[in-house]
């Protein structure tokens, strides 16, 4: 009897307590019920507080109701060190180092969506452990010009590659209960004049080139937050742009998350209120180095918006719509008790950083099997500042405090033994800075003489150069002024070649550079900002432990004028009187090179291996297709070499007689195949016929014309291995 009484008492107690749990805190209730309940309990002032920053990287939540603050952190390649509450200085914590993952351009070069999911998951784990609710990445702006300061943060020049790589990254991050924040929406394709430039671009280029990755991130990735860009589009700032946000993002695409500013990208209260901005961050700052202190009440969505509602000028419902989205973000992150706990700096994080780096490195030239570098060499000259410079630093908001960063020099020493390595800087730059280039303080002539001295006595020379995320050398807030290597590297390479022909170059950058010495060197690797395991991955490829499988995510032009953005002069880049016109329209990257018959130095999708592959003939399951069909292509690929390797097979399509101008070919599928030596694999890839359509600006819809199409099976945008012709009948 006693037992029954106590369990009855307990259940009564439970019922009484559970009856008191407010709906918004009750995780058994549907999210929309919880949102409406929370909203109904808030005062006007509390709702206004929810939609703008209280500090550099947080919003206040609603303390009275126990709705937590939202904490955000950069960036796309790792969790940034803590920043001070109200200025851009580092907070000086000692528990905020991280795993530095390779830059997203490296991730794109892997052509491996599975790796992208793992990347996002690892980043989400580290962000969760650091108690961040939003990680401010990935960046998916298209690589239009090789001068853009932030291309290293993005996924290259092709909208399909960017779309396929961004979706798993977002899913990986968000499965940890941390929101990704896809950026910068939209048309942030240069850093020059970023906070004023007005971009004019056709609907066709907007929908076919610049929006697809964002659309995929929303509709396939389910991203919970999107960050507006600094620039304008058709005269209106992107962070409160009627067409981009209300019509396309939230209307056509059905985005139910939070639209936030970039830091300092809001400029008008009325537009911010009416054009879909939900959270305002970083106003009265330049997003990187300076800003007013404690300016939060001055924010466009703070006092000005509050007063407009109090004066009856604008309806409170406009505020409620924003708060609903912010609350949904809370419920998806820090009010979801079931979310993971995260972890950081785990061995698996380090291993993953290394694997992504290894798979992203691109071998561009290898005359006489220069690579792998033989173990018999006793004097291996390692020359260049990029062999030792910590490249996880700098670059702007994606800067990281990596717990470790294995340098290429250290990697080479670990691989070949200190006694066999001769090192010297060769050239030097200043420390990273976000507003100016700092001098190195070292004497260039002495550095050159020292370099030539060891090059002369070496068996082989490895020159580690490229860009370095210093100001205007792959850095936020500024573009490069030309495509040349900085710090006298070209002259130094020429001098080294005069004393030792057995020279290879390893470029580390996020952008294409001009290569006047290309014909004279034996080998060339395009490497990236590889993060914590840079040296291990680089030495792994150089030594042959790793067979390189990366492919270029962007075209490398011979000279800047061969690039689409620079062909039309200043009006096209960087713009005139704060306006630029994307005259290249849909023809950027390989689309441009092929249509205009301008051979690139190296094409999009190109990359060599230490083994060789043989492509079999492509076949299609039918020859005539209708709407709703998918084209099933089949082919074989054989590893005809002596070591295992991986090849990213690409599938492009080209329409024979389009009614509008179309590129010669467009990437519509790719598959990375890992094959043992001698292994032959049959593969099938399904491509929806709808993806063959072009955007018809007249009707505002995608159009698939009855016509012949060529399906190209290719090892790069320029090298077709096999092709087939099909017909589409509507």
* 154 near ligand GLC, judged by CB under 6 A: no
CB of 104 to ligand GLC, least distance (A): 12
CB of 140 to ligand GLC, least distance (A): 12
Closest CB to ligand GLC among residues 241, 549: 241
Of the residues 82, 125, 262, 584, which one makes contact with ligand GLC according to CB under 6 A: 262
Binding to ligand GLC in span 388-407, by CB under 6 A: 397
* 521 near ligand GLC, judged by CB under 6 A: no
Q: Token pair for residue 269?
A: 């209260």
Question: In residues, how long is the chain?
Answer: 730
Write the DSSP assignment of 93-156 as a string of letters: -SS--B--PPPHHHHHHHT-HHHHHHHHHHHHHHHHHTT-SEE---B------TT-TTGGGS--
d(CA 79, CA 174): 15
Of the residues 144, 183, 344, 593, which one makes contact with ligand GLC according to CB under 6 A: 183
Binding to ligand GLC in span 29-58, by CB under 6 A: none
End-to-end CA distance of the chain: 77
Closest CB to ligand GLC among residues 137, 177: 137
d(CA 260, CA 229): 10
d(CA 156, CA 108): 7
Closest CB to ligand GLC among residues 135, 687: 135
Q: Token pair for residue 326?
A: 């912010």
CB of 197 to ligand GLC, least distance (A): 14
CB of 630 to ligand GLC, least distance (A): 37
Of the residues 102, 217, 287, 531, which one makes contact with ligand GLC according to CB under 6 A: 287
Closest CA to 38 of 207, 272, 30: 30
Closest CB to ligand GLC among residues 154, 590: 154
∠ CA 428-431-436 to the nearest 5 degrees? 105
Task: Show the DSSP H helices in 482-580 as ranges.
Answer: 489-499, 534-543, 564-567
d(CA 12, CA 298): 50
Closest CA to 532 of 404, 415, 397, 394: 404
CB of 70 to ligand GLC, least distance (A): 14
Closest CB to ligand GLC among residues 139, 156: 139
Write each residue from 621 to 650 as x if it is in contact with ligand GLC (CB under 6 A), else as -, in one continuous string.
------------------------------
Closest CB to ligand GLC among residues 88, 371: 88
Closest CB to ligand GLC among residues 230, 371: 230
Give residue number: closest CB to ligand GLC.
287
Output the CA torsion sign for 176, 181, 182, 183.
negative
CB of 138 to ligand GLC, least distance (A): 10
CB of 375 to ligand GLC, least distance (A): 44
DSSP state, residue 519: G
CB of 252 to ligand GLC, least distance (A): 25
Closest CA to 280 of 249, 319, 328: 319
CB of 208 to ligand GLC, least distance (A): 25
Q: Evaluate whether 278 touches 179 at the Cβ level (below 8 Å).
A: no
Closest CB to ligand GLC among residues 79, 542: 79
Binding to ligand GLC in span 67-86, by CB under 6 A: 74-75
Closest CB to ligand GLC among residues 401, 566: 401
Closest CB to ligand GLC among residues 189, 514: 189
How many residues lie near ligand GLC (CB under 6 A)? 9
Closest CA to 292 of 262, 263, 258, 335: 263
CB of 398 to ligand GLC, least distance (A): 7
d(CA 462, CA 543): 12
CB of 277 to ligand GLC, least distance (A): 15
What residues are paired with 381 via a beta bridge?
422, 461
Closest CA to 714 of 668, 650, 670: 650
CB of 406 to ligand GLC, least distance (A): 27
State yes or no: is 311 an active-site residue.
Answer: no
96, 158, 262, 278: the catalytic one is 262
Q: How many CB atoms lie within 10 A of CB 341?
A: 9
* 263 near ligand GLC, judged by CB under 6 A: yes
Closest CB to ligand GLC among residues 277, 649: 277
CA dihedral 76, 78, 79, 80 (to 10 degrees): -80
Of the residues 79, 136, 523, 646, which one makes contact with ligand GLC according to CB under 6 A: 136
Q: What is the widest separation between alpha-carbon atoms in the chain?
A: 99
Write the DSSP assignment of 636-695 as a string of letters: EEEE-SSS-EEEEEEEEEEESS-SS---S-EEEEEEEEEE-TT-EEEEEEEEEGGGG-EE
∠ CA 61-62-66 to the nearest 5 degrees? 105
Of the residues 201, 211, 288, 335, which one makes contact with ligand GLC according to CB under 6 A: 288
Closest CA to 140 of 202, 203, 220, 200: 220
Q: Evaluate whether 563 touches 513 at the Cβ level (below 8 Å).
A: no
d(CA 728, CA 705): 7
Residue 632 in 3-state DSSP?
strand
d(CA 689, CA 669): 12
d(CA 105, CA 179): 21
Closest CB to ligand GLC among residues 241, 564: 241
Binding to ligand GLC in span 704-723, by CB under 6 A: none
Binding site for ligand GLC (CB under 6 A): 74-75, 136, 183, 262-263, 287-288, 397
Active-site residue set: 262
């Amino acid at each position: 009897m006693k037992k029954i009484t106590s369990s009855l008492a307990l259940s009564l107690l439970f019922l009484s307590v559970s009856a008191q749990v407010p709906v918004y805190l009750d995780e058994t209730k549907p999210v929309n019920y919880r949102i409406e309940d929370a909203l109904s309990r808030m005062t006007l002032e509390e709702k206004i507080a929810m939609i703008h920053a209280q500090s550099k990287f947080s919003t206040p939540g609603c303390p009275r109701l126990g709705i937590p603050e939202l904490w955000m952190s950069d960036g796309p390649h790792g969790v940034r060190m803590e920043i001070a509450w109200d200025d851009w200085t580092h907070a000086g914590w000692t528990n905020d180092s991280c795993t530095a993952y390779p830059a997203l351009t490296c991730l794109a070069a892997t052509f491996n969506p599975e790796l992208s999911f793992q990347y996002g998951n690892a980043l989400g784990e580290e962000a969760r452990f650091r108690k961040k609710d939003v990680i401010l990445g990935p960046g998916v702006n298209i690589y239009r010009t090789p001068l853009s300061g932030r291309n290293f943060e993005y996924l290259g020049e092709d909208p399909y590659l960017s779309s396929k790589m961004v979706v798993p990254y977002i899913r990986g991050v968000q499965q940890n209960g941390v929101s990704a924040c896809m950026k910068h929406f939209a048309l942030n394709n240069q850093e020059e004049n970023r906070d004023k430039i007005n971009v004019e671009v056709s609907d066709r280029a907007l929908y076919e080139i610049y929006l697809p990755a964002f659309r995929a991130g929303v509709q396939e990735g389910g991203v919970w937050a999107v960050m507006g860009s600094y620039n304008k589009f058709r005269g209106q700032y992107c962070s409160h742009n009627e067409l981009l946000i209300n019509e396309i993002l939230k209307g056509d695409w059905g985005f139910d998350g939070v639209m936030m500013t970039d830091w300092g990208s809001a400029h008008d209260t009325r537009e911010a209120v009416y054009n879909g901005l939900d959270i305002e961050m970083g106003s009265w700052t330049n997003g990187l180095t300076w800003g007013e202190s404690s300016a939060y009440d001055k924010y466009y969505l703070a006092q000005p918006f509050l007063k407009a509602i109090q004066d009856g000028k604008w309806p409170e419902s406009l505020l409620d719509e924003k708060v609903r989205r912010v609350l949904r973000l809370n419920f998806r992150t820090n009010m979801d008790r079931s979310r993971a706990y995260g972890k950081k700096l785990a061995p698996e994080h380090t291993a993953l950083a290394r694997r992504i780096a290894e798979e992203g490195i691109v071998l561009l030239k290898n005359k006489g099997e220069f690579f792998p570098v033989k173990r018999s060499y006793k004097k291996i000259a390692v020359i260049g500042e990029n062999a030792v410079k910590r490249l996880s630093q700098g670059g702007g908001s994606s800067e990281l405090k990596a717990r470790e960063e294995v340098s290429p020099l250290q990697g080479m020493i670990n691989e070949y033994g200190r006694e066999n390595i001769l090192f010297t800087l060769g050239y030097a730059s200043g420390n990273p800075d976000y507003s100016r280039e700092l001098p190195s303080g070292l004497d260039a002539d002495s550095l050159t003489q020292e370099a030539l001295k060891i090059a002369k006595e070496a068996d082989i020379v490895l020159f580690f150069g490229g860009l370095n995320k210093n100001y205007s050398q792959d850095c936020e807030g500024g573009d490069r002024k030309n495509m040349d290597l900085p710090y006298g590297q070209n002259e130094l390479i020429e001098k080294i070649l005069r004393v030792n022909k057995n020279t290879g170059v390893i470029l580390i950058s996020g952008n294409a550079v001009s290569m006047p010495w290309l014909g004279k060197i034996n080998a060339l690797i395009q490497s990236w900002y590889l993060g914590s395991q840079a040296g291990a991955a680089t030495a792994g490829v150089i030594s042959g432990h790793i067979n390189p499988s990366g492919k270029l995510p962007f075209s490398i032009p011979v000279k800047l004028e061969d690039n689409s953005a620079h062909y039309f002069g200043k009006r096209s880049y960087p713009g005139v009187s704060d306006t630029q016109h994307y005259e290249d329209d849909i023809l950027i990257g390989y689309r441009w090179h092929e249509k205009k018959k301008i051979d690139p130095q190296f094409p999009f999708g190109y990359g060599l291996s230490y083994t060789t592959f043989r492509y079999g003939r492509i076949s299609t399951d039918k020859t005539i297709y209708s709407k709703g069909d998918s084209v099933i292509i089949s082919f074989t690929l054989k590893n005809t070499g002596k070591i295992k390797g991986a090849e990213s097979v690409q599938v492009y399509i080209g329409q024979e007689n389009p009614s509008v101008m179309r590129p010669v070919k467009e990437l519509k599928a790719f598959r990375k195949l890992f094959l043992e030596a001698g292994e032959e694999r049959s593969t099938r890839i399904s491509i929806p016929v709808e993806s063959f359509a072009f955007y018809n600006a007249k009707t505002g819809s995608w159009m698939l014309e009855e016509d012949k199409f060529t399906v190209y099976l290719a090892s790069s945008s320029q090298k077709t291995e096999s092709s087939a012709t099909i017909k589409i009948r509507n």
